[in-house]
Amino acid sequence: MRSPPPNLDLSESFAGIRICDLSQAIAGPHATMLLAQYGADVIKVEPPAGDWGRLLGPAQGDHCVHSWYYNLGKRSISLDLKTKEGCEALTKIAQSSDVFIESFRPGVAARLGFGYDAVRALRPDVVYVSVSGFGQHGPYSERGTVDSLMQGFSGMMTMNQTSDGTPHRQNMVVVDVLTGLYVFTAISSALFARRQHGQGGFLDISLMHAAANFQAAKIAEFHASSGEPQAFYGPVGYLPTADGGVSISCRKQNHYEALCQVLGRPDLCGSSRFASINARISEHDELMRELGASTSSWQTNCLLTALQTVDVLAEKAQTYGQWLTDPHVTATNAFEWTGAGSWGELPLVRSIGAHSAPSQRRIAPDIGEHSLEIRRELGLN
């Protein structure tokens, strides 16, 4: 097998860039964690009680697993912004930072004395980022929201409805995570533009807009089809086996015919009611029931081998535990075991293009862990 060329190592892409990170929970912290993985100095500014995202699930010490992951590589300083001392310290951090990011409700940062105009007066070329649910303006801007509500608002739950038409929630914080990716992309682009033109600016990024960006093609397709978008092809999706299940995708006619041949179901192709792609789309639920009745007696590995031999696209429907032990995952070093403080060791999926060893990276900080270190750097008592 031909060996691939060496990957770029982007671990120091943002070396020399400082981020003042007041964001909490997942969306903003995900973006700043990525910046840290690519070399930025991220100062996480937390209230004395800490980022409320530290409580998203069972905790060990100062971290739940989500907060451990989304704050990797950062330094934490604890500040009470209702005090003169806290505001003076944040002023010093803002003056030295290339990016200032907050995730308060609209208007809160300004009331604390750290809105865009105030921070720009301290650092004229700052990239200032506000992350919120519905954005800084508009009739819903003051509404509080969370990931599951935005899945409903954006149409994602309806798009993922079950076979009986019930809207279905993704069982992970998908909108928050996606928003973090869009924030990271916007900050990266803003820093590149600043390098070209010497100017910073303001970025208003919302969960609402990020969720829409992720589904933009589906939103357009919904309109183009008068509210009744069709599947691209069929059968596609999950089929049960005797010891688990597989995910299949029959994009072409020959894929479907090969699937029927492997399963010994010639009655489902030829002159049957499922013979055409359009028929398989319109009768998809019934077709999947028929196919599932045939696959349920197969062992997963045997079925995969039989399908992949005839070029039917199919993979095992795995748990995360199975993914962690999958031979391809381990052969490609897709993750590494790394120290996680009170959690012991946890699997850490490698950031794309960042190849520095765990010993060269900071783990996620405890509340205020680097307060004295940062204060000394800024010349504060």
Q: What CATH number does the domain containing 260 carry?
A: 3.30.1540.10
Same domain, 77 and 195: yes
**Residue in this structure with the two tokens 């699997």, named with its chain if needed:** 347
Range of the domain at 120: 18-217+335-378
- Amino acid making up residue 174: V
Residue 227 included in any domain: no
What confidence score (pLDDT) does residue 244 get?
97
The pLDDT assigned to 37 comes to 94
> Are 198 and 307 part of one and the same domain?
no
Name which of 44, 34, 43, 45 is nearest 96 in CA terms.
43
Residue 123 has pLDDT above 70, yes or no: yes
- Is position 300 within any domain? yes
Is residue 87 located within the same domain as residue 171? yes
Domain count, the chain: 2
pLDDT of residue 232: 87
Do residues 203 and 310 both lie within one domain?
A: no
Q: Are residues 300 and 205 in the same domain?
A: no
- Average pLDDT value for residue range 286-294: 96
**CA-to-CA distance for 62 and 76, rounded, in angstroms?**
12
* Chosen domain end from 325, 344, 361: 325
| Statement to judge: residues 196 and 253 lie in one domain | no
Q: Check residue 77 and report its DSSP letter.
A: E
Question: With 50 as the cut, is the pLDDT of residue 109 above it?
Answer: yes
If asked whether residues 191 and 71 sit together in one domain, one would say yes
Query: What is the CB neighbour count within 10 angstroms for residue 15?
Result: 10
Q: Rounded CA gap, 246 and 315, in Å? A: 6
pLDDT (average), residues 65-70: 96
At residue 359 the predicted structure's pLDDT band, cuts being 50, 70 and 90, is very low
Q: How many whole angstroms separate alpha carbon 85 and alpha carbon 15?
A: 29
Instruction: Give yes or no: residues 150 and 42 share one domain.
Output: yes
Tell me: do 185 and 42 sit in the same domain: yes
Residues 363 and 246 in one domain: no
CATH number assigned to the domain comprising residue 71 = 3.40.50.10540
**Omega before residue 358 within 30° of 0, cis:** no
Shared domain for 302 and 357, answered yes or no, is no
- What does pTM read for this prediction? 0.94
